[in-house]
Amino acid sequence: MQQEAAIREPLILGNKSYKDITDDVVGPIQGAAPLGWKVMITISSMVAFYGVGCILYLIGTGIGVWGLNKTVGWAWDITNFVWWVGIGHAGTLISAVLLLFRQKWRMAINRSAEAMTIFAVIMAAVFPGIHMGRIWVSYWVLPLPNQFGSLWVNFNSPLLWDVFAISTYFSVSLVFWYIGLIPDFATIRDRMTKPLQKKIYSILSFGWSGRAKNWTRFEEVSLVLAGIATPLVFSVHSIVSMDFATSVIPGWHTTIFPPYFVSGAVFSGFAMVQTLLLIMRKAMHLENYIHTKHVEYMNIVIIVTGSIVGVAYLTELFISWYSGVEYESYAFINRFSGPYSMSYWAMMTCNVISPQLFWIKKIRRSLVATFILSIVVNIGMWFERYVIILTSLHRDYVPSSWSEFNATSIDVGVFIGTLGIFFTLFLLFARFFPVLALNELKTILKSSGEEQKRLQADAKSNTNA
């Protein structure tokens, strides 16, 4: 068994046995739904229904129900798309990259983070669909053989790469997540007493028997998938950023975008993980599994990526001046001093200044501060996309076409609606799925559990004595 230094903070608190872990994770699934869950799912599903209503109205009437115009062809739609895709980055990063780097602390959070990823990517995928004028022919973006003559998709278009990138990312994330779930579903299956539930979980667990062969294959597949998923973490947002980077619009046409977008995505993804987990650990009494140390680790990721994002912002400003191109320099001057400068400064404050507070250890380890700042970061990241998309578009080359954008209630409704759908899905996940990778956690109990650490310490003091 892997040994770990006693002075490392334990990852699992309390004197947990394997059975305790199982009980802690499976218990809530077996028990009745708590009142708080019922209240939350009622609210979020109502919001979700409202959002679906807005989307149906949009599809039935036309894109004109949004506030877009002849100059600003994208605003909230693509902002929301990029925002959700960004959020969808943390899960795979945690499960794949951290797996490859053998970071044990990921085990407490990877399951929920991956679920979050899946749901966020689903929400993200909604927007490129509904933002189309004719969603009923959206399948034309797929390079399908067709009877329209030799019609083919345009492989030059970054929007097409987007389709491939997002769909690949979604499929790989889904498979990865599901593979991880199989042993845990089996555990639930084994504990279920009601026949219907037992049946369902037994189907979900794909006949997992827990034999060594199963585990070997599980580990192999996980490693292979981690290998596949890792480049995807970087490619997806790089490609999303190319929607902008390959254009001619000042403020979009920027080679810095791929790394800048990826770090921004990780930044917002971790913030969303924080937001969700801090609620979940409280609601589901997982304080022993997700605690200050985990939060601190994630906050460190947030400082790093937030700082990268900050540097990117400043680089953009510098280059706009250094390029000597009139349009480029105006685009950035307009960003921070024009009609939408409020958004710019909101972005700067939320994304560059606020994460720097995490340099202070007290704040970094404070759950309340983390919760607040994680929300602030996600607000900031929404504004970042809004600033990039809107301020670049609304005043580009020809001043006669300079315009403004005013969001309508449907713009807002669709966005809020996707939040509703997202939280509904996440609440369903929290209720029926193992929210912690319980079988994986058991593998580190003996190396990183608090009890183990105590025993190690005792042993050490005994030898010293």
Partner 1 sequence: MADNKIYWSGLEELDRTPEFEQLESQEFPAERPVDEFLADDRLQRANTGRRDFLKFMGFSVTAATLAACETPVVKSIPYTNKPEEITPGVANYYASTYYDGHDYVDVLVKTREGRPIFVKSNTETGYGRVNARVNASVLGLYDSARLQAPQLNGEATDWTTLDGAVQKGLSGAGRKVLLTGTVMSPSHSRAIAALAEATGVEHVQCDSISYGAIVEAAEKDFGRRVFPSYDFANAKTVVSLNADFLGTWGDTVWYTTEWAKTRRPEDGAMSVLHAFESGMSLTGSNADRRTRVKPSQQGNVAAALLNEINGQGHVAGLDEAILAGVKAAAADLKAAGANGLVVAGDNDVATQCIVNAINVALGALGTTVNINEKAALHQGDDAAFATLVEDMKAGRVSALIVDGTNPSYHAVDAAAFNAGLDKVAFSVSTALFADETASRCTAIAPNHHWLEAWNDLQIDPERIDIAQPTIQPLYDTRHATESLLAWAGQTVDAYTFLRRTHNAAYSAEAMYTDQDWNTGVHNGFLAVATPEKVAAAYSGSALAGALAAVKGRKGGGFELDLYRKVTMGDGQQAGNPMLQETPDPITKTTWDNYVTMARADMEAMGLNTYIAEKDPASVVKVTVNGTSIELPAFPQPGQLPGTVGIALGYGRGAGNEAIGKAAYQVGEGGDHLADAEGNLVPIGKNAFGLAGSVEDLPAFSAYDVTVQATGETHPLACTQLHHTIMGRDSVVKETTLDGYLAEADAKRGDASWNRVIGLNVHDDINGDGEINALDKKAAGEFDLWHEHAVDGVGHRWGMAIDLTSCIGCSACVTACHIENNVPVVGKDEVRRHRDMHWMRIDRYYASDWSKERGAEEGLGVISTYAKMEEPGANPQTVHMPMMCQHCNHAPCETVCPVAATTHSNEGVNQMTYNRCIGTRYCANNCPFKVRRFNWFHYPGYDKFQNLNPAQDAIQRMVLNPDVVVRSRGVMEKCSLCVQRTQGAKLEAKKAGTPLEDGSAITACAEACPTNAITFGDLNDTSSEVRATYDNNRTYHALEEIGVQPNVAYLTKVRNTPNA
What's the closest the beta carbon of residue 64 comes to partner 1, in angstroms?
Answer: 3
Please give the Cα distance from 265 to 331 (Å, whole number): 23
Nearer to partner 1 by Cβ, of 170 and 405: the residue is 405
Q: Which is nearer to partner 1, 164 or 432 (CB)?
A: 164
Whole-angstrom CA distances from 161 to 48, 93, 258 are 29, 21, 14
Residue at token pair 């989307």: 55
Give the residue, chosen from 5, 35, 70, 213, that forms a contact with partner 1 under the rule CB under 8 A: 70
**What Å distances lie between residue 287 and 135, 429, 464, CA to CA?**
45, 19, 33
Alpha-carbon distance of 26 to 23, in angstroms, equals 5
Which residues, 419 to 458, sit near partner 1 by CB under 8 A?
none
Please calculate the CA angle 214-218-224 and round it to the nearest 5 degrees. 145
By CB under 8 A, residue 64 contacts partner 1: yes
Single residue of 43, 97, 159, 256 touching partner 1 by CB under 8 A: 159
Stated length of the chain: 465
Neighbours of 421 (CB within 10 A): 22
DSSP state of 184: H
Residue 416 interacts with partner 1 (CB under 8 A)? no
215 versus 402: smaller Cβ distance to partner 1: 402
The answer to whether residue 68 forms part of the interface with partner 1 (CB under 8 A) is: yes
Indicate the DSSP class of residue 238: H
Q: Does 67 bind partner 1 (CB under 8 A)?
A: yes
Closer CB to partner 1, 61 or 216, in the complex: 61
- Cβ 118 to partner 1 shortest distance, Å: 24
Task: Give min distance, CB of 340 to partner 1, in A.
Answer: 13
Q: Which of 140, 215, 371, 432 binds partner 1 (CB under 8 A)?
A: 140
Nearest C-alpha neighbor of 173 from the set 241, 109, 116, 240: 116
Task: Compute the least distance from the CB of residue 303 to partner 1, in Å.
Answer: 31
Taking the least distance from each CB to partner 1, the nearer of 255 and 337 is 337
Residue 168 binds partner 1, judged by CB under 8 A: no
Please report whether residue 411 would count as binding partner 1 according to CB under 8 A. no
Backbone dihedral angles phi then psi of residue 104, each to the nearest 5 degrees: -75, -25
How many residues in the shown chain lie near partner 1 by CB under 8 A?
A: 56
Q: How far is the CB of 228 from partner 1 (least distance, A)?
A: 25
Q: How far is CA 217 from the centre of its chain?
A: 28
What token pair was written down for 192?
Answer: 């279920």
DSSP structure string for 25-67:
HHHHHHSPPPHHHHHHHHHHHHHHHHHHHHHHHHHHH-GGGSS
Indicate the residue among 248 and 465 with the shorter CB distance to partner 1: 248
Residues 401 and 394: their CA atoms lie apart, in Å, by: 8
CA nearest 333: which of 280, 392, 400, 404? 392
The residue from 219, 287, 326, 458 that contacts partner 1 (CB under 8 A) is: 326
CA angle 323, 328, 331 (to 5 degrees): 145
The answer to whether 393 contacts partner 1 (rule: CB under 8 A) is yes
Q: How far is the CB of 120 from partner 1 (least distance, A)?
A: 21
Site for partner 1 in 336-375 (CB under 8 A): 337
Name residues contacting partner 1, limited to 225-254 (CB under 8 A): 243, 246-249
Q: Tell me if 3 contacts partner 1 by CB under 8 A.
A: no
Should residue 333 be labelled a site residue for partner 1 when binding is judged by CB under 8 A?
A: yes
316, 347 contact by CB (below 8 A): no
Using the minimum distance from each CB to partner 1, give the nearer residue, 31 or 399: 399
Interatomic CA distance for residues 77 and 184, integer angstroms: 37
Q: Does 259 bind partner 1 (CB under 8 A)?
A: no
Residues binding partner 1 (CB under 8 A): 61-64, 67-71, 73-74, 128, 131-134, 137-138, 140-141, 151-154, 156-160, 163, 243, 246-249, 323-327, 330, 333-334, 337, 393, 395-404, 406
